[in-house]
Amino acid sequence: MEEPAQGDPVRGTSGLAAILLAGVESVALDLKQPGGQAVLGKILERADVLLESFRPGTLARFGFPPDLLRERYPRLIVGSLSGWGQSGPYAARAGHDLTYQAVAGALAPTGEMPAVQVADQVGAWSATCAILAALLERQRSGRGRHVDAALLDAGVHANLMSWAMEEPLPLTGALPCYGLYRTADDRLLALAALESHFWYRLCDAVERGDLRNRQFSDPHGEVEKLVRSRTLAEWMEVCLREDIPAEPVLSAAEARAHPQVQERGMLIEGGLAFPARLDGVRPQGGVHVPALGEHTAAWLAELEEK
């Protein structure tokens, strides 16, 4: 369901809309009006899951408090995906992925803008997993559940390395053997020789046995100087020959053309495929992005018939 005037915010970004809205049905309801609330009530009578992303308490103001939902639709799984969660002093506070990652401690190790909206994406997957678990439990108990999924919680969980290890975190650039290095042709090499056998193999391959003891500490930047002395192609030749985990840092366009990405079939018309295969086949979604409210009339007519 979408808000009637502007619809889902992702409609303003064609690329995201093609990925997130393809294959769905669009029903536009104004839940501030009694008529919209009545239609939602009828839809919930036949629904398995209600997923809402309002701030806590908003759904109750629209006439659907949690206790009423539980009483009227006992088999319904209600998924509440919010920024800070349904409880706590920040529950009603505004936020975005950047602020959730900030509070989760994920930005402190590098002090840099994140390249990926980790809290948003992990939050969506965590809500999905919890809803699927609730559906499985319902098969046994016959009862629905209320899933409280918070983007902050997801950001904290995604930052589990911070909670398990002392700072500075070793996998955020603190280790010479695990980081991004500029090459002679001004490209970036992602070096991940974290295990000692990889590191020793690298040092021996370039005849720099003196760096064997610099895997975890390199106060004079010798590793950086070494990587800077060869081109990306030269480093990839060494690392492939010696089976050392290292790859070039690619742009989105370069990643799109990468042979492994191509073979995995992740790129489909209009967006991205589901990131897992079932018996060798990826689940297929739709490709049509519906117009705002495209299916409202059909749903209203069907509900009137019931």
Percent of the chain with pLDDT over 70: 98
The pTM is what? Answer: 0.85
Answer yes or no: is 289 within a domain.
Answer: no
Domain carrying residue 179: 175-249
The pLDDT value recorded for residue 221 is 95
Domain boundary at 124, 143, 164, which?
164
The pLDDT value recorded for residue 80 is 96
Summarize pLDDT for 234-267 with one digit per residue, the tens: 999 999 999 999 999 999 899 999 999 999 988 8
Sign of CA dihedral 204, 209, 212, 217: negative
Verify that 158 and 36 share a domain, yes or no.
yes
What is the residue-averaged pLDDT of the chain? Answer: 92
* Cβ neighbour number for residue 157 with a 10 Å cutoff: 15
What CATH number did the domain enclosing 189 receive? 3.30.1540.10
Q: Please, which pLDDT band fits residue 168 given cuts at 50, 70 and 90?
A: low
Sign of CA dihedral 150, 154, 159, 162: positive
Summarize pLDDT for 84-122 with one digit per residue, the tens: 999 999 999 999 999 999 999 999 888 889 999 999 999
The pLDDT value recorded for residue 135 is 98
One-letter amino acid at 64 equals: F
Statement: residue 9 has pLDDT above 60: yes
**Among 14, 74, 106, 21, residue whose Cα is nearest residue 287:** 21
Q: Which of 71-75, 133-137, 213-217, 265-269 has the lowest mean pLDDT?
A: 265-269
Summarize pLDDT for 35-63 with one digit per residue, the tens: 999 999 999 999 999 999 999 999 999 99
The number of distinct structural domains making up the chain is 2
Domain boundary at 112, 129, 164, which?
164
| Tokens 């939902």, located at residue | 69
- The answer to whether residues 144 and 191 touch, using CB atoms and an 8 Å cutoff, is no
Verify that 160 and 82 share a domain, yes or no.
yes
Verify that 186 and 241 share a domain, yes or no.
yes
CA distance 172 to 162: 10
What CATH number did the domain enclosing 125 receive? 3.40.50.10540
CA distance 278 to 228: 43
Domain boundary at 249, 274, 289, which?
249
Statement: residue 169 has pLDDT above 70: no
Verify that 122 and 226 share a domain, yes or no.
no
Angle (CA) 232-237-239 rounded to 5° is: 90
Summarize pLDDT for 264-300 with one digit per residue, the tens: 988 887 678 888 998 898 888 778 889 999 899 999 9
The pLDDT value recorded for residue 85 is 96
